Structure 1
């Protein structure tokens, strides 16, 4: 599993300009089975996505995010080997 932590490097007003295409990209990530969960950071400085796949696939997908392409946000991609979960989240292991 991967944690994709994005941090805005431009003002939130700039992020808002590209939010619709970014959300299309997020929705496509769910549709193609890469994304498991996502949401905004609080305070609103970026967001976090839980993803699955291989590292090259994840990094290529992140590079295509409109936020990345437009220089709005930077991503930190962290691989996590999940060994224990709460009941109902066993699918995160592996």
Structure 2
């Protein structure tokens, strides 16, 4: 699993202008099995994705995020080998 941390580099107004496209991009990735979960940081300074795939494939996928395409966010990628998961989250195990 790859955890992707986003740090916004643009004003929220610029991000909001791409929010519908960003959410459509996330939904498409969830529908095709790449995206496991996503959400905003609190306070709203960035976000987080949990994704399936290799580090290289997730980096390539993240580069197509409207926030990335328009230079609105930086991305940090953390590869994780989940060895323990609570009941109901066994699908996170690699």
Into which bin does the TM-score normalised by the smaller protein fall?
Answer: over 0.9
**Quick one: distance in 1 between partners of 2:7 and 2:28?**
20
User: Counterparts of 1:62 and 1:35 in 2: how far apart (Å)?
Assistant: 10
**1:24 alignment counterpart:** 24
Segments of 5+ residues of structure 2 without an aligned counterpart are none
- Structure 1 position 43 matched with structure 2 position 43: yes
Q: TM-score, normalised by structure 1?
A: 0.96
Post-superposition shift, 1:57?
1.3
TM-score (norm 2): 0.96
- Structural RMSD (CA): 0.7
* CA distance in structure 2 between the aligned counterparts of 1:26 and 1:7, rounded to whole angstroms: 17
Shift of 1:71: 0.4
Quote the residue 1:54 is aligned against.
Answer: 54
- Where does the alignment leave 5 or more consecutive residues of structure 1 unmatched? none
Which secondary structure state, in structure 1, belongs to the residue aligned with residue 74 of structure 2? strand
1:12 is matched with 12
Find the counterpart in structure 2 of residue 81 from structure 1: 81
Residue 33 (structure 2) aligns with: 33
In structure 2, C-alpha distance between the alignment counterparts of 1:41 and 1:63, rounded to whole Å: 20
Q: Which segments of structure 1 move beyond 6 Å, counting only runs of 4 or more?
A: none
